[in-house]
């Protein structure tokens, strides 16, 4: 009835329409079932039979009622934050960034509406469109949860586009088809344990690849901010966890970045990370596995980037990225054009803006204060001009 937010903070019209229709449909259907149940109770009361069956039907109705409330709570978390001062506008701008993170596949897949919100905790997450909500209804929009702690500088884009990558991977059927190839690699005579880990971690790795492909070095810098953890967690090799060990995750990000956007910066970044977390003192078994992964990494990177599915209509994963536009050289040149007022950030796609500023931060030509100011202005601009 009342949306306590400014226009610029609202979710997209497509998202609002889809969510409203879902909730109204569920509410209407439940109301009809409740009235039918009441009529059935009245008629059964006269006959005094079927008590057990009525109780069973009542329990089902109660569960359905609760599931609709669960759905309402899911979307209410998104909507209510749009009324928060500043935060509402920033979230609307992040909606636009997330949407731009899918634009590369708009010609080969239907793009769902999406909404971004903030939550407690350290991990970002996505409730993908077309998955099941409580009660079994199909989710009409993608809902992305970002930890409040990530709302610092350009690193927010790495987490957000990673989660967008989960939606993209689902639309393009990337993970199941990559697993087939990885299983084949494991079956080869000279296969090593590295491929077993790559197979277990592929659902998260492919999303990191999507982030690097769209954001360049900004994705790796953002990832490093997330996985800056004590040594125990850096080298925790767990085949039950779909997330790569942080040390390997950064190494993979640099390896994919080096292949997608060739430049010496990736080696420099990796050497810096190795200096933060030396291998001295680790168990021999752990060092052996890490060494094995390093030997197999180039082949793994090539396999992933050259992968294609029927949904991709003949394209390989690497061809979905704006290779020339996001190369380090192009980003450096574009940054100089912007600094001399020969180019405007308002005319650039959001992912390009974050890639540009992330590259500038890595090159030490932009400080944190300026980055924060510029990004705040851009999020506001995207929010005010989206509809």
pLDDT tier at 46, thresholds 50, 70, 90: low
pLDDT in tens, 70-84: 888 888 878 888 888
pLDDT in tens, 198-249: 999 999 999 999 999 999 999 999 999 999 888 888 999 999 999 999 999 9
pLDDT in tens, 264-284: 999 999 999 999 999 999 999
User: Residue 92, by phi and psi: left (phi above 0), alpha (psi -120 to 50) or beta?
Assistant: alpha
pLDDT tier at 387, thresholds 50, 70, 90: low
pLDDT (0 to 100) of residue 148: 84
pLDDT (0 to 100) of residue 48: 61
- Residue 4, judged by CB atoms within 10 A of its CB (0-12, 13-18, 19+), counts as exposed
Residue 261 is classified by DSSP as S
Kindly list the domain boundaries of the chain, sorted by start residue: 7-148, 173-320
Residues above pLDDT 90, as percent of the chain: 71
Determine the average pLDDT of the residues in 338-345: 95
Determine the average pLDDT of the residues in 174-187: 95
pLDDT tier at 86, thresholds 50, 70, 90: confident
Residues above pLDDT 70, as percent of the chain: 96
pLDDT tier at 1, thresholds 50, 70, 90: very low
pLDDT tier at 292, thresholds 50, 70, 90: very high
Cβ–Cβ < 8 Å for 15, 43: no
Cβ–Cβ < 8 Å for 18, 140: yes
CA nearest 304: which of 158, 229, 187, 199? 199
Q: CA-to-CA distance for 207 and 160, rounded, in angstroms?
A: 10
Mean pLDDT lowest for which of 20-29, 209-218, 298-307?
Answer: 20-29
Mean pLDDT lowest for which of 59-63, 157-161, 320-324?
Answer: 59-63
Q: Provide the whole-model pTM.
A: 0.89
pLDDT in tens, 103-147: 999 999 999 999 999 987 668 999 999 999 988 999 999 999 998
Is the pLDDT score of 3 beyond 80?
no
pLDDT (0 to 100) of residue 198: 97
pLDDT tier at 324, thresholds 50, 70, 90: very high
Instruction: Using the structure block, give the residue that is written with the tokens 């291998």.
Output: 279
Whole-angstrom Cα Rg for the chain: 24
Determine the average pLDDT of the residues in 157-184: 96
**DSSP three-state, residue 126:** strand
Cβ–Cβ < 8 Å for 68, 23: yes
Determine the average pLDDT of the residues in 171-199: 94
pLDDT tier at 291, thresholds 50, 70, 90: very high
Tokens of 353: 């803006």
Is the pLDDT score of 357 beyond 50?
yes
Average pLDDT, the chain: 91
How would you list the strands of the sheet with 142-147, edge to edge?
114-119, 142-147, 125-127
Is the pLDDT score of 386 beyond 90?
no
pLDDT (0 to 100) of residue 4: 62
Residue 309 sits at φ, ψ, to 5 deg, of -130, 170
Is the pLDDT score of 45 beyond 70?
no
pLDDT (0 to 100) of residue 149: 82
Bridge partners of 117? 145
């Amino acid at each position: 009835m009342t949306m306590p937010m400014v226009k610029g903070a609202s979710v997209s019209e497509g998202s609002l329409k889809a969510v409203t229709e879902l909730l109204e449909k569920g509410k209407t259907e439940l109301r009809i079932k409740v009235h039918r149940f009441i009529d059935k109770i009245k008629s059964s009361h006269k006959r005094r039979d079927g008590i057990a069956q009525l109780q069973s039907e009542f329990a089902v109705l109660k569960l359905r009622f609760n599931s609709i409330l669960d759905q309402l709570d899911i979307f209410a978390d998104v909507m209510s934050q749009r009324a928060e001062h500043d935060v509402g506008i920033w979230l609307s701008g992040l909606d636009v960034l997330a949407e731009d993170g899918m634009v590369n596949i708009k010609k080969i897949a239907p793009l769902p509406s999406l909404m971004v919100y903030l939550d407690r905790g350290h991990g970002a997450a996505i409730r993908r469109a077309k998955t099941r909500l409580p009660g079994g209804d199909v989710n009409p929009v993608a809902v992305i949860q970002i930890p409040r702690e990530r709302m610092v500088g350009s690193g927010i884009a790495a987490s957000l586009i990673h989660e967008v990558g989960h939606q993209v991977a689902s639309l393009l059927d990337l993970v199941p088809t990559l697993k087939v190839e990885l299983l084949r690699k494991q079956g080869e005579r000279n296969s090593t344990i590295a491929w077993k880990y790559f197979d277990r971690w592929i659902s998260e790795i492919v999303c990191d690849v999507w982030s690097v492909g769209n954001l360049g070095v900004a994705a790796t810098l953002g990832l490093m901010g997330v996985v800056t953890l004590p040594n125990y967690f850096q080298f925790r090799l767990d085949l039950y966890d779909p997330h790569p060990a942080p040390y390997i995750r950064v190494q993979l990000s640099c390896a994919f970045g080096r292949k997608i956007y060739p430049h010496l910066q990736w080696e420099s970044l990796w050497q810096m990370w190795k200096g933060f977390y030396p291998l001295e003192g680790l168990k021999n078994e752990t060092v052996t596995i890490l060494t094995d992964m390093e030997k197999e990494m180039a082949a793994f990177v090539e396999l992933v980037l050259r992968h294609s599915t029927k949904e991709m209509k003949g394209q390989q994963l690497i061809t979905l990225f704006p290779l020339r536009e996001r190369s380090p050289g192009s980003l450096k040149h574009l940054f100089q054009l912007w600094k001399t007022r020969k180019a405007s950030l308002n005319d650039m796609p959001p992912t390009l803006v974050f890639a540009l500023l992330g590259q500038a931060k890595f090159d030490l030509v932009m400080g944190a204060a300026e980055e924060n100011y510029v990004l705040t202005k851009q999020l506001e601009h995207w929010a005010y001009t989206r509809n």
